[in-house]
Amino acid sequence: MTSGNRLLNGLVALLTFGSIFVIMLVWVSVSRNTLLGLYSVSITGFLIFMYAATAGYEPEADSGFRPEITVVIPAKNEGEVIESVVRTVQKRLSRGQIAGSARR
């Protein structure tokens, strides 16, 4: 991460937390220590915690894997025959007998 990105992320975080803090203060002063005020403080604290906890998250690089075809076999309580159904689908896929599949 470059220093420009860090500065931009810092400014975004400051603006976000600053606005959340101001909104929370206004809301708590309006709610006058009611249950809603406690809820507001709790949720605001949770949001700030989640933001801070995930600030360093970087997703894994895309491996590029894309399945060629997806087969959906609806089944319920078919444990005895599902293996033969899957094998039949595999055979037909390898022979190109299912639309959209390619022979190998």
**Interval 31-46: pLDDT, tens:** 776 777 777 778 878 8
Let me know whether 74 and 47 are in one domain.
Answer: no
pLDDT at residue 38, as a whole number: 77
Q: What is the DSSP letter of 75?
A: -
44 occurs within a structural domain: yes
pLDDT at residue 104, as a whole number: 47
Tell me the CA end-to-end span of the chain in Å, nearest whole number. Answer: 44
Domain span at 79: 69-104
Tokens 């709610």 correspond to 31
59 occurs within a structural domain: no
Let me know whether 47 and 83 are in one domain.
Answer: no
The whole model's pTM is what? 0.39
pLDDT tens for residues 46-76? 888 888 888 778 888 888 887 777 778 888 8
Let me know whether 49 and 83 are in one domain.
Answer: no
Number of folded domains that form the chain: 2
pLDDT at residue 12, as a whole number: 82
Let me know whether 10 and 45 are in one domain.
Answer: yes
Q: How far is CA 19 from CA 22, 74, 94, in A?
A: 5, 50, 59
